[in-house]
Amino acid sequence: MKIRRLFRRRALENVNKLKKVYDEAIIMNLLSGAKENNADVFIWKLIGASKHVGQVKIESIRKKRGDFCITPSEGQDSIIKDLVGSQTYTDVYIPEASILFRCNLKSTQAPKRYYLSIPDFVAQLERRKNLRLNVYESNEIKLNFSKNILSSNPGGQNFQKSCFDLSGGGFSFLVSRMESKFFNLRDKLPVVEIKSNKWNHRTSAEICQIREIEPDEFNNLIYKVWRISCRMTEINQSFKKDLEKYILERIKDELCAIND
């Protein structure tokens, strides 16, 4: 039995929950905070099965007129013009505030400024410090790292694993009983390669939790496995931005669902 088939039920514990927020004051505070902090804002649309994503900033908010103005980030003018101008609504994601919403285009001064309606509600992710996405069943994210172990191999043991879950602050993976003896709390992983089919980055990490997973009627395991959770100790801006975009693509279906 392949380990990949496990956690069909327990994985739900790690899926982010979306809640609708209708309170106008809260919505205005979230938008104002994104503006004041010069936060990254992403908009996107689907063309067939392809996702098209653009990056903007919030320039101003006009509460009395019920709209806010976005401006394209550097090098994004043509992308934003295509994304906003080709449909009557715009899907927006603000990672810093953990909110997603859909709003209408009210007016445009393309290609530099676009005025969008303040949404009636936003979907906010109920989460801890960082979004955590279960990616194991999709087999999308791969981990590659070497770890020093008590053996005659001076270069350490190389491990190639499918990532179980991933966030802006850490990741986890599963190991067998035999492999579990090589991992201990607070062990350092100096170089971890994390890659998808679109990007490839390196980070450093520290093991922060080790948990035994017993077979049960839900996960189809025939033997125990161990889940190794790691906290990233170093992440560059390029990796951070790629993670934000990846998270956006993974949760866009949830946003579409709450708007239907």
**Ordered structural domains, the chain, with CATH:** 3-10+132-236 (2.40.10.220), 17-126 (2.30.110.10)
pTM equals: 0.55
Residues 154, 197 contacting (CB under 8 angstroms): no
- Which of 23-32, 41-50, 166-175, 245-254 has the least mean pLDDT? 245-254
119 compared with 97, residue with greater pLDDT = 119
Token pair, residue 186, equals: 């607070």
Buried b (16+ CB within 10 A) or exposed e, 179-189: bbebbeeebeb
Instruction: Give the mean pLDDT of the chain.
Output: 80
Residue 190: strand, helix, or coil: strand
Query: Cα-flanking dihedrals φ and ψ of residue 30, to 5°?
Result: -65, -45
- CB burial of residue 23 (10 Å; 0-12, 13-18, 19+): exposed
- pLDDT in the model for residue 135: 76
The yes-or-no verdict on residue 153 having pLDDT over 50 is: yes
**Total residue length of the chain:** 260
Sign of CA pseudo-dihedral 254, 239, 39, 232: positive
pLDDT, one tens digit per residue, over 236-259 is 888 988 887 787 677 665 555 545
Residues 194, 164 contacting (CB under 8 angstroms): no
Tell me, rounded to whole angstroms, the distance of Cα 251 from its chain centroid: 8
Range with top average pLDDT, 30-34, 57-61, 149-153, 161-165: 57-61
The yes-or-no verdict on residue 12 having pLDDT over 70 is: no
**For residues 68-86, average pLDDT:** 89
pLDDT band at 9 (very low <50, low <70, confident <90, very high): very low
The yes-or-no verdict on residue 2 having pLDDT over 50 is: no
